[in-house]
């Protein structure tokens, strides 16, 4: 008897949860909502809306990291592989407290927005002008995959890193190994890369006989 009662309570709980979810998601355009950021953790959750009609003109109700919110409709949100890696990074003010007007690409909004940069560090999603941001992030610009030939391929000291990958660099630059450190440099075309490799091989032949 006790087992039946427990199963009945569990069944009603599941039905209640399903109804709550259906009510929360009914009438919403989930396909046009921005992707959730897995790095955000919330202590409190608050639902601003449950359905699209509860939002203002040009907005839809979306599930965000801390609850449902009304967000602007994005006409076209490019896929991550359509734009440069730096354009995917979140806005980063940096740890310093200066106020410098810069621009970053907002992936969810699909446009370049102004922000106050602190003056140090931050990431590569930072441009001096809106035009520079638009040129890099809205025309499908990607960083070519060719690094310049490392003139010092062997490093006997500590290997330092000024960048982790291409996304750590400013627009149009790649994170490449240069001797005993990794730095942001302009990439080279494939033909030039081949020429550099041939020159490097010739130097090694002369050096080692």
Report pTM. 0.35
89 and 69 assigned to the same domain: no
Q: Does residue 85 fall inside a structural domain?
A: yes
User: How many residues belong to the chain?
Assistant: 209
Split into its structural domains, the chain has a count of: 3
Is the Cβ–Cβ distance between 143 and 84 less than 8 Å? Answer: yes
Domain with 176 in it: what CATH number?
A: 4.10.75.10
**Cα–Cα distance, 102 to 114 (Å, whole number):** 6
Q: Which of 66, 65, 103 is nearest to 87 (CA)?
A: 103
**Does 94 share its domain with 63?**
no
Helix (H) or strand (E) holding 195: helix 190-208
153, 179: one domain: yes
83, 142 in Cβ contact below 8 A? yes
Residue among 189, 165, 182 nearest 84 (CA): 165
List the CATH number of the domain containing 87. Answer: 4.10.410.10
pLDDT for residue 6: 67
For residue 91, the model assigns a pLDDT of 94
Q: How far is CA 21 from CA 17, 60, 200, in A?
A: 6, 17, 63
Domain containing 69 equals 39-73
- Whether residue 2 is contained in a domain is answered as no
- Clarify whether residues 89 and 129 are in a common domain: yes
Which residue do the tokens 């081949």 mark?
A: 194
- Note whether residue 115 is domain-resident: yes
**Which sign, positive or negative, has the C-alpha torsion 69, 71, 74, 78?**
negative
Low-confidence ranges of the chain (pLDDT < 70): 1-2, 6, 8-32, 37-40, 44, 73-82, 139-145, 150-159, 164-168, 171-172, 189-209
């Amino acid at each position: 008897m006790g087992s039946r009662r427990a199963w009945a309570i569990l069944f009603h709980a599941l039905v209640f949860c399903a109804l709550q979810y259906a009510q929360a998601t009914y009438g919403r355009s989930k396909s046009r909502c921005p992707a959730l950021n897995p790095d955000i953790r919330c202590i409190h959750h608050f639902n601003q809306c449950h359905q699209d009609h509860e939002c203002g003109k040009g907005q839809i109700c979306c599930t965000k990291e801390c609850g449902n919110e009304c967000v602007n409709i994005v006409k076209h949100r490019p896929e991550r592989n359509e734009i440069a890696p730096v354009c995917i990074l979140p806005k980063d003010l940096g740890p310093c407290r200066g106020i410098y007007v810069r621009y970053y690409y907002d992936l969810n909004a699909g446009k370049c927005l102004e922000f106050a940069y602190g003056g140090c560090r931050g990431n590569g999603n930072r441009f001096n002008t809106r035009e520079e941001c638009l040129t890099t992030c809205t025309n499908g610009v990607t960083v070519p995959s060719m690094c310049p030939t490392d003139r010092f391929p062997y490093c006997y000291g500590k290997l330092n890193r000024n960048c982790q990958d291409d996304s750590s660099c400013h627009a149009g630059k790649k994170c490449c190994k240069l001797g005993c450190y990794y730095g942001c440099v302009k990439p080279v075309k494939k033909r030039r890369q081949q020429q550099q490799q041939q020159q490097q091989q010739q130097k090694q032949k002369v050096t080692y006989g």
